[in-house]
Structure 1
């Protein structure tokens, strides 16, 4: 892969290979952990096939984003003054953690839509936080400005081959633990996770069905795939806030990866995400973000195609706004900007 330039921008290659993902696994070993793949008896009963959960919630920063961040930071040129990034929360945590481990400065730019709990968590890891505008695009513009004015190097949350390769290590682990997997459900946002995991999974087993799942409002990658090119969407508040943000009109990597390797994209409503979060809490006894719950949400809503064998989903993170989470698990209404998700009790 092509190294970063001293100006802080990345010259992206046109392709990413399985070899890059194996190299990333070596680079992140000892900082990001190999997470467990565990069965869900409750969802197995619903699916009529073995249903497995990849617990990225057990990473040191509580989310999968640590993998890509560590791999990207490990590739920085000697003498790097610091890094900057834009984030909806979890990427910022990963970059802050990885930068602290390397002893360099990290600046994380976020929009006003990011929950305060995620902002506080990033500050606690020693990063400088900048709150800019009301969109990921606004935060990204500030990240670029910092790189140009202060000599920092940008680490994209998704459109960076080192980041994508790091996220792709999840696919390696899942297929090693369950070689007979028939369907893999991947939360879909900017495509760093979905593109990397799908590339790894398809390279190992071309017959596996990889499905991206995202919210039905403000889903940039889905809209872009439908249009045939990257497009902008209006960002809105969501229970799956980690899936918010655009993919960049100049996207050079993840749009193509998702277009080539995802078999389908499924949209879930806020009400369905709400039920998915409840299911993970009550049936799995776990705390997880709304983005982690989209696989459960799609299954419970009857939106998944029939699988010929085991199904796996990725629980991407646990860094949820606990005030909103408490409303969900107690069956209360949850206001999300101009809409309110009506409360509903979990059916035992």
Structure 2
């Protein structure tokens, strides 16, 4: 069953004191550029450095006596599950593809979880999750297609509207859709007229392609500065696909060059270290792909990034992403 607003309030009680209450702060630079109040929800301040802790805590709390938990992850969900499982003394096995940056793999292992690197795509890693569930009795915690995960992520929407009831638009990074589905559901239940736009990279955008096709589809995955937005949505997606299809007002795609520039803006103008996935909302506004009609907020989803790559972006160096090269440009302050 799709989660509803009551489930979000219940999730808020479960995570209270553990993964709630991150700041919602104005970005003076972006407010000038956008011509409207532009706010940043700082989920990079969570204990694991990412919003995924909310859904993981809520979902792991719902697991009874079990051999352990497992999940497929591009990094931050795995870190959240590892953190939540360790707190409950449970085994956690996190399955990831070879595209996941080593920094994220190391961060999960540091939390005591077992990491398995499987294949070149999240679909390959998901196959190992299904084997662990079948053969070893682990409970799967989906990064996006789980009602407890979606309800946990939706608490971000509650907090944003509690802090700024006048918000007109929410710009939400979009991958498998757990965050976008949850935030859109909660926000529209509280304020039906609010606009919620999913933002993602223009290569390997699984949810965007699936909504265009009218059903979940597989997409080729590419290395990206917004690596947290990679991966498929699952061919048997039950929740996040229909919720994103029905609740998002639009989906906007941004290029790697636009993400590169927005990462520089967030760092040099707001002094925030964040992953490429965090800045897609800024990129959409800076390029004019989204026009603001009133106070707007986006979610700075996490800070668990490859610092060598981050340093290269901040110093205007060229970046190679697989077969694609982004020509570096120094930021003019």
Matches within 5 A, 1:155-194: 155-194=141-180
Counterpart for residue 73 of structure 1: 60
What TM-score do the two structures reach when normalised by structure 1?
0.95
In structure 2, distance between residues paired with 1:240 and 1:170: 20
Give the aligned length: 333
How big is each residue's C-alpha offset from its partner over 1:234-254, in whole Å with a ceiling of 9 and x where there is no partner? Answer: 000000000000001110000
In structure 1, distance between residues paired with 2:115 and 2:17: 26
Counterpart for residue 288 of structure 2: 302
Structure 1 segments (4+ residues) deviating >2 Å: none
- CA RMSD after TM alignment: 0.7
- Given the alignment, which residue of 308, 315, 321 partners 1:330? 315
1:220 equivalenced with 2:206 (yes/no): yes
1:237 equivalenced with 2:220 (yes/no): no
Mapped contact 2:3–2:148 kept (Cα < 8 A): no
What TM-score do the two structures reach when normalised by structure 2?
0.99
Task: Give 3-state SS (helix, strand or coil) of 1:98's partner.
Answer: helix
Once the 2 structures are TM-superposed, how far is the Cα of residue 33 of structure 1 from its aligned partner?
A: 2.6
Question: For structure 1, which runs of at least 5 residues remain unmatched after alignment?
Answer: 1-12
Counterpart for residue 78 of structure 2: 92
Mapped contact 2:96–2:125 kept (Cα < 8 A): yes
Counterpart for residue 104 of structure 1: 90
In structure 1, distance between residues paired with 2:325 and 2:6: 45
Mapped contact 2:46–2:53 kept (Cα < 8 A): yes
In structure 2, distance between residues paired with 1:38 and 1:30: 20
In structure 2, distance between residues paired with 1:136 and 1:96: 18
Matches within 5 A, 1:85-164: 85-164=71-150
Counterpart for residue 8 of structure 1: none
In structure 2, distance between residues paired with 1:80 and 1:336: 40
1:64 equivalenced with 2:30 (yes/no): no
Mapped contact 2:36–2:292 kept (Cα < 8 A): no
Mapped contact 2:24–2:40 kept (Cα < 8 A): yes
In structure 2, distance between residues paired with 1:266 and 1:347: 26
